[in-house]
Amino acid sequence: MGRSNIAMTEKNHSTRPEPEVCHASVFFSGRVQGVGFRYQTLQVAKQFEVSGFVRNLSDGRVQLEAEGGESEVKGFVAEVKDQLSVFIRQTESSSERRAPRFKGFTIAH
């Protein structure tokens, strides 16, 4: 009986889910396409430990998806808003904790 308990304990430890990260989805509207918004966002991302992407949407908005440590993600989004505020008219955002899905930060097409 003691042996099966040990085996079950070892199995439970080996199948642990990945640690959760903070994930933010942000949609920017305004004059955000054709002004270097995605490129500048990529440059800002290099200053933070975040993964994800930025892309233009067909409706004229820019979508930003970022994940990482909570302070890194919040700092990154705040810096994007600060550096690109002249182009942004409105921002819609949501955040959640989830398993990581991205590797690196890219401009998506």
pLDDT in tens, 17-76: 678 999 999 999 999 999 999 999 999 999 999 999 999 999 999 999 999 999 999 999
Q: How confident is the model at residue 88 (pLDDT cuts 50, 70, 90)?
A: very high
pLDDT in tens, 6-19: 444 444 444 666 78
Q: Examine residue 8 and state whether it is found in any structural domain, yes or no.
A: no
Residue pair 29/89 in contact (Cβ under 8 Å)? The answer is yes
5 catalytic, yes or no? no
- CA–CA distance, 1 with 8 (Å, rounded to integer): 11
Q: Return the bridge partners of 5, or none.
A: none
pTM over 0.75: yes
How many domains would you assign to the chain?
1
Q: Examine residue 9 and state whether it is found in any structural domain, yes or no.
A: no
| CATH number for the domain harbouring residue 53 | 3.30.70.100
Q: Examine residue 7 and state whether it is found in any structural domain, yes or no.
A: no
DSSP H helical segments within 30-109, as ranges?
37-45, 70-83
31 catalytic, yes or no? no
- Catalytic residue, chosen from 16, 56, 61, 97, is 56
Domain, as residue range, for 62: 18-107
Q: Examine residue 68 and state whether it is found in any structural domain, yes or no.
A: yes
Show the tokens assigned to 14: 């080996």
